[in-house]
Amino acid sequence: MSRDPLLARARGVWQELASVPVSFGAAGDVHVVVSPGSRICPRGWAGIVVLGGAAIVTAPSREAAARIRAAVAGLPVDRLTDPGSVGRVLPVGESLGPAVLAYLADEGFRPAAPPTGLRVEEAAAGSVDLGPLERTAGAADADEAGLDGMSSPAFVVRVAGEVVAAAGYRAWPGRAAHMGVLTAPAWRGRGLARATGSSAVRHALAQGLLPQWRAGVPASRKVAVALGFSELGSQLCVQLL
């Protein structure tokens, strides 16, 4: 059991998502469980989460669990979410990730203000049409942000009435707030992701939630670190052949 409260809370989120009893062990431990209904990964896939140097893996069947246990026995824990390393010991089809998992405690929060002349507006969830922003940003970035499923208010920056940046979060198990941030390409590099993300994080903390930032691209990781998030681990989902 971790003595780090932030790590313990983060692990609790993924232990609940595993949908069967499982826990992270000591550093270096890998616990593989059978969980056809795991919410860590798509149905029928294997889900791998590394936090604090220990891993849990959900497998869709007993046969898959046995294969995974045998295959990963020789892999260092920090390679379990590397698709190349996993692909060398297991027959893998598609994969999702890897993504870095970062979390924030109240005392670590570093708020960010918008650039001079701009402001972050708060609007009720679903009351702002984010479609134009998502289309401008492109499908890959819009999927990464996942703003279409947010349960929080929307925190947006407008220029001439057009939404050029937005942030929010989805309520996850374990009282986590899964953050999402999206900025129009023409407005990137000006601090809008930090400003809107800061407002969403502040809202989550005020609700007593655990802000979670799952990033698959370096730019997203940079924003999270700027706001005070600590990178505690990573996630990978694989489809076994």
- Whether the pLDDT of residue 2 is over 60: the answer is no
Average pLDDT over residues 43-47: 96
Average pLDDT over residues 156-167: 94
CA neighbor of 184 nearest in space, from 154, 215, 145: 145
- Whether the pLDDT of residue 1 is over 50: the answer is no
Residue 148's pLDDT band (boundaries 50, 70, 90)? confident
Give residue 196's pLDDT.
Answer: 97
> Two tokens at 60?
């869709």
Give residue 65's pLDDT.
Answer: 96
Residue 74's pLDDT band (boundaries 50, 70, 90)? confident
Beta bridge partners of 92: 240
Q: Are 122 and 154 in contact (CB under 8 A)?
A: yes
The rounded distance, in Å, linking the Cα atoms of 168 and 198 is: 10
The rounded distance, in Å, linking the Cα atoms of 230 and 211 is: 11
- Domains of the chain in start order, with CATH, are 5-100+234-240 (no CATH), 106-232 (3.40.630.30)
Average pLDDT over residues 137-162: 91
Residue 211's pLDDT band (boundaries 50, 70, 90)? very high
Average pLDDT over residues 169-187: 95
Please state, rounded to an integer, the average pLDDT across all residues of the chain. 94
| More confidently predicted of 236 and 128 | 236
Give residue 49's pLDDT.
Answer: 98
The number of beta carbons lying within 10 Å of the beta carbon of residue 119 is 11
